[in-house]
Amino acid sequence: MPQYIIGIDVGGTKVAGGLVDLTARLVKSAVVPTRAEKGFKASFGQIAKLISVLVKCAGGRERILGIGICAPGPHNPQTGLVINPPNLPGWRNIQLTRLIESKFGVPTKVENDANAAGLAEVLFGAAVGYRDIFYVTVSTGIGTGIIIDRKIYHGKNGVAGEGGHVSIDYKSPYRCGCGTLGCIEALAAGPGMARRARVRLEQEHSAPSLLRELSGGHHELISPKMIEQAARQRDPIAREVLDETGFFLGVWLAGMITLLDPEAIVIGGGVARIGKPLFDKVRQTIPHYTINRQFAVKTPILPAKLKTNVGVFGAASLFLPGEC
Amino acid sequence: MPQYIIGIDVGGTKVAGGLVDLTARLVKSAVVPTRAEKGFKASFGQIAKLISVLVKCAGGRERILGIGICAPGPHNPQTGLVINPPNLPGWRNIQLTRLIESKFGVPTKVENDANAAGLAEVLFGAAVGYRDIFYVTVSTGIGTGIIIDRKIYHGKNGVAGEGGHVSIDYKSPYRCGCGTLGCIEALAAGPGMARRARVRLEQEHSAPSLLRELSGGHHELISPKMIEQAARQRDPIAREVLDETGFFLGVWLAGMITLLDPEAIVIGGGVARIGKPLFDKVRQTIPHYTINRQFAVKTPILPAKLKTNVGVFGAASLFLPGEC
């Protein structure tokens, strides 16, 4: 009788795995390096090793209900194909579901990490009690997931919900890695924030700023954390950059509300941990960029609840029975 | 035994109505003026008069399966509330469903016009055979409808699918009637096209243009039709304006594909009738503004099939049994 689900979160530098019981309790977790730079075979070896350890912990594969795997980038959940994860350069059109299933003889599902995290927030995170949400994770990139009726919305090709690559400024000077000008990811994710801070430091080159000190004059080292720290100490440039980040996210989320009219928006990821100053600006901006103002102001903008292990929980939630 | 559906399309100047049989054949149609300027009571009187005529035509109310009504702007289909249709200024939070049901004793549904038109295109228009589409109508405004699994997607408050009010340029000089800067409606609908043509004629005030002749020097009279006509005669300003319209629609639809990954996009409305030059530019632009390039280029961009009476068919389709 299966008692556990294995959740695997494949990242660019590490693979996190966990054994989750059917009440969504994490009973065991482990991490191995991804070794992405050594190509797909090396990474697959690492993933397989981690799964083997967790299967053993569970007391054998017959006790595993399923293996859920999440990774960044577009996937095809129908075919289990990982298409082209941006931070796993050696991976291209990998039949990950088939490979894992044939190695372990356990049902396997593969999912985009933001989609899985969004589902996990609905099943046992910030959005418990909601059925239709728009999930956002803001960190090195911006990932999104559309959850409708407590299920991931996949679209025709399984690549729906790539909201981080919707442009809010078609003639922006900032081009995203995906090629699009003015994607919210290019503007408001961590590297975009740091880039805007560097531009301001250059433009206002005679203005004093704590960011110059924090980075030791090496502007290429500026991180969202430094911006947050400087803003907290009322550094004007850092505050402008932070404020602008909230404004950009607000404009973009206003569009998502206008289009999808979700029950709630959940925002997670490292940058979102900045918290109140960012969320306040997001909430202030939304009513100015939507036709559905009277409803938009009532749409809850919630901080994500799942933090560490969100990927493992997200992956496991692909097999967890919902309360539908 | 009910044999007919009544479809009513409430516009700013006229109300169109039709008697549609269960095979989606229009057996009778009629039009009355809306009299919106005289307030809600006057308009309601017109709608009721039209319905009475159609009920009589059908041979009595027991032969009517339902009355479908569509009108522009945000609605709440759960409560039948028409919230604030922009071109029916006297209407605000009108319980239209209840009012019609109590007057005629026939089940009534009220729907946003673009949502209803999108459903009609899936049931018996350009998108027959598809289940998940993004519908767009480009005319005086830009209305959109999200159809998922052959049903209108309404969101939490019933106001989902207002895609015409998603911004692609948060700092645009063009502000929409809804208050948002750079909505696709402000940029690419008929009045937006005409506005951009006027700006160009002013900026390039010494450049000759057929648009100056067609409008008799009265630039405020410039219409999308004149722009189309001048572009066909290779007028450079008109061609630029038309090209830019296709580009804007392409940027915006790329975002919709990135987010929703629909099976197809259907474009209707007066401006869309410009046809090939507009559709070509839309199709050229999409791959440059999406991360899902390999799928986006394969997403069919179809011209709408229902033209005259699209509103009546859309309204009637709220009661037509799908082939699900």
Kindly list the domain boundaries of chain B, sorted by start residue. Answer: 4-119+309-317, 129-305
**Which of A134, A175, A259 is the best residue to mutate to test the B interface, defined by the most B CB atoms within 10 Å of its own CB?**
A259
pLDDT for the residue A47: 96
pLDDT for the residue A295: 92
Please list every residue in chain A whose beta carbon sits closer than 8 Å to the beta carbon of residue B166.
255, 258-259
Please list every residue in chain A whose beta carbon sits closer than 8 Å to the beta carbon of residue B153.
148
Please list every residue in chain A whose beta carbon sits closer than 8 Å to the beta carbon of residue B176.
291
pLDDT for the residue A323: 45
Q: Which residues of chain B have pLDDT under 50?
A: 323-324
pLDDT beyond 60 at A317: yes
pLDDT for the residue B86: 67
Q: What is the pLDDT of residues A4-30, one digit of tens each?
A: 999 999 988 899 999 999 988 999 999
- Interchain pair B259, A146: CB under 8 A: yes
pLDDT for the residue B324: 38
Asked whether this chain's domains B4-119+309-317 and B129-305 adopt the same fold, the reply is yes
**How far away is chain A from the Cα of B28, in angstroms, using its nearest Cα?**
35
Architecture field, domain B4-119+309-317: 2-Layer Sandwich (3.30)
Please list every residue in chain B whose beta carbon sits closer than 8 Å to the beta carbon of residue A157.
261, 292, 295
Tell me the percentage of chain A whose pLDDT exceeds 90: 83
* Token reading at A183: 């994607």
Name the residue facing B165 among A156, A290, A294 (closest C-beta): A290
ipTM attached to this prediction: 0.93
- Interchain pair A180, B291: CB under 8 A: yes
Q: What is the pLDDT of residues A259-294, one digit of tens each?
A: 999 999 999 999 999 999 999 999 999 999 999 898
Element (DSSP H or E) covering residue A4: strand A4-10
**With bands split at pLDDT 50, 70 and 90, how would you rate the model's confidence at A86?**
low
Nearest to A312 by CA among A18, A49, A72, A11: A18
Please list every residue in chain B whose beta carbon sits closer than 8 Å to the beta carbon of residue A148.
148, 153
Please list every residue in chain B whose beta carbon sits closer than 8 Å to the beta carbon of residue A74.
291-292
Pick the CATH number of A126-304 from 3.30.420.40, 1.10.1200.10, 3.10.105.10, 3.40.50.620: 3.30.420.40
- Give the span between the Cα atoms of A138 and A82, in whole angstroms: 22
Query: What's the mean per-residue pLDDT of chain A?
Result: 93
**With bands split at pLDDT 50, 70 and 90, how would you rate the model's confidence at A39?**
confident
pLDDT for the residue A322: 60
Pick the CATH number of A4-113+309-317 from 3.40.50.300, 3.80.30.20, 3.10.20.600, 3.30.420.40: 3.30.420.40
Which residues are B93's β-sheet partners? none
Nearest to B55 by CA among B6, B109, B2, B107: B6
Name the residue facing B74 among A169, A178, A292 (closest C-beta): A292
Name the residue facing B156 among A263, A288, A290 (closest C-beta): A263
pLDDT for the residue B36: 84
Question: Which one-letter amino acid corresponds to residue B81?
Answer: L
pLDDT beyond 50 at A324: no
Torsion-angle region of residue B267: left (phi > 0), alpha (psi -120 to 50) or beta? Answer: beta
Name the residue facing B166 among A170, A255, A262 (closest C-beta): A255
Q: What is the pLDDT of residues B103-160, one digit of tens each?
A: 999 999 999 999 999 999 999 899 999 999 999 999 989 999 999 999 999 999 989 9
Strands of A4-10's sheet in order across? A26-33, A14-21, A4-10, A64-71, A108-112
**How far away is chain A from the Cα of B50, in angstroms, using its nearest Cα?**
31
Q: Is the pTM of this model over 0.80?
A: yes
* A211 touches A235 (CB < 8 A): yes
With CA atoms as reference, the chain B residue closest to A163 would be B259
With CA atoms as reference, the chain A residue closest to B153 would be A260
Name the residue facing B159 among A160, A289, A295 (closest C-beta): A295
Torsion-angle region of residue A222: left (phi > 0), alpha (psi -120 to 50) or beta? Answer: beta
Specify the CATH class of B129-305 in words.
Answer: alpha beta
